[in-house]
Amino acid sequence: MINVTKPFLPPQDEYNQYLQGIWSRIWLTNNGPLVNELELTLKNYFGVPHLFYVTNGTIALQLAIKVLGLQGEIITTPFSFIATTSSIVWEGCTPVFVDIDPATYNIDPALIEAAITPQTSAILATHVFGNPCAAREIAAIAAKHKLRVIYDAAHAFGTSYQGRSVLHQGDISTLSFHSTKLFHTIEGGALITHDADLANKIAHMRNFGFHGPDTFQGVGINGKNSEFHAAMGLCNLRYVGQILDRRQQLSETYHHMLKSLRIGTPFLHPSAGFNYAYYPVLFESEAVLLKMVKALHGVYVYPRRYFYPSLETLSYVQPGQQMTVSADIASRVLCLPLYHDLSMEEVKMICRAILRAERY
């Protein structure tokens, strides 16, 4: 059986070495030395001044909204994982959807201004499949209308934009380190900001608002992560270069073998360094997609419809928001298996199954 993804695991003895240290210190959580080491290592890797390791990517989004003091409406994308929208609703704000660019699958900056109202407080955009958003255009719109910008960079570990990490964009970027991601800490996430005042607020807010042993600086939450999770991250960071290279090789094999078919992949920004987090293919119709899924299931291959359905259809958002492009893309896009341990022969087998299904 070949699933759409499979977690990367480092050699067990490397992880065990960290476990021995945890056992000897008996310091399991509450910003231990491994959490601090992981944060410092990641800051150096991305070249960013402030990074906070938290429980997961969803908590990271919720903290970003809370730290920025957002209220009212937040403009966002309908084509993303559900947490992008649910975090807005959870924090008492209203998601206002703007349709996506049919070439990149990211929020279309040309449509954002028309959605801005006096109640708009921010733009929350996703770098979909690790493909960077049009950050320059979004920044100009935000500056003109005095809006905050959050980037959901859950898919964008290792992605660059204009020669540096995509995490240099916006007021806050958030990451997910869930085990399905190309870099993971089993469960985990992070917030990144270049603003020292925001960094101070995040530091307090992720730890119940503690400001000393018995004083508090505003409302907070338990957003901390453990030494065990940080240990997995430190192990996996050693292999990120290999992971990125391998995913690129597998993706190029898919592209070469499927180039004769009437399918599409996202347009990649020419200034971007792509991370090959996913291999999405866009079929000519939903009927063709479903035929391909059936054919792949027949050979025990299980792709996934990322991201389906389009989020404006959720029961807890304002009804009547018509997102024509997102709904169309969501109905036709399928992510094929892509992970470090996937073999070239398995990729070729998957491609042959798709090519056979195309002919019949």
pLDDT in tens, 136-193: 999 999 999 999 999 999 999 999 988 899 999 999 999 999 999 999 999 999 999 9
* Domain stops at, among 212, 237, 262: 237
Instruction: Output the pLDDT for position 272.
Output: 75
| Long-range own/partner contacts, residues 250-253 (CB < 8 A, 24 or more apart) | 250/276, 250/279, 250/338, 250/342, 250/344, 250/347, 251/276, 251/279, 251/338, 253/344, 253/347, 253/348, 253/351
DSSP tag of 261: S
pLDDT tens by residue, 212-221: 778 878 888 9
Tell me, yes or no, whether 228 and 290 share the same domain. no
Are residue 178 and residue 287 in the same domain, yes or no?
Answer: no
Domain span including residue 320: 240-359
Q: Quick one: DSSP state of residue 226?
A: -
The single residue listed with the structure tokens 């966002």 is: 76
Mean pLDDT of 212-236: 92
* 97: Cβ contacts below 8 Å, ≥ 6 apart: 75, 76, 77, 78, 115, 311, 312, 317, 321, 323, 326
For residue 111, the 8-state DSSP code is G
- State the pLDDT at residue 213: 79
Same domain? For 202 and 215 the reply is: yes
217, 204 Cβ separation under 8 angstroms = yes
pLDDT band at 262 (very low <50, low <70, confident <90, very high): confident
Percentage above 70 pLDDT, the chain: 100
Burial of 70 (0-12, 13-18, 19+ CB in 10 A): buried
Q: Is the pLDDT of residue 280 over 90?
A: yes
As a whole number, the mean pLDDT across the chain is 96
d(Cα 250, Cα 248) in Å, to the nearest integer? 5
CATH number at residue 46: 3.40.640.10
Length of the chain: 360
324 with 177, same domain: the answer is no
10 and 145 assigned to the same domain? yes
Q: Are residues 70 and 209 in the same domain?
A: yes
CB 232 within 8 A of CB 185: yes
Q: Is the pLDDT score of 297 beyond 90?
A: yes
- Residue 248's alpha-carbon distances to 278, 338, 340, in angstroms, are 10, 10, 10
Domain count for the chain = 2
Based on the fold, state whether residues 326 and 258 are members of the same structural domain.
yes
* Same domain (yes/no): 225, 294: no
The answer to whether residues 252 and 341 belong to one domain is yes
Beta bridge partners of 301: 2
Residue 271 has pLDDT above 80, yes or no: no
Which domain-ending residue is among 208, 237, 266? 237
Cα separation, 119 vs 125, in Å, equals: 18
Please give the residue that has the higher pLDDT: either 354 or 263.
354
Among 178, 208, 237, the domain-final residue is 237
| 267 shares a domain with 233 | no
Tell me: pLDDT of 275 over 80: yes
Task: Indicate whether 96 pLDDT > 80.
Answer: yes
> Does 209 lie in the same domain as 114?
yes
Whether the ω angle into residue 307 lies within 30 degrees of 0, i.e. cis, is yes
C-alpha dist (Å) from residue 307 to 17, 218, 281: 38, 36, 12
Q: How confident is the model at residue 97 (pLDDT cuts 50, 70, 90)?
A: very high
Q: pLDDT per residue over 49-81, tens digit each?
A: 999 999 999 999 999 999 999 999 999 999 999
Say yes or no: 146 and 266 in one domain.
no
Could you tell me the CATH number of the domain that includes residue 252? Answer: 3.90.1150.10
Find, among 322, 346, 112, the residue nearest to 249 by Cα. Answer: 346
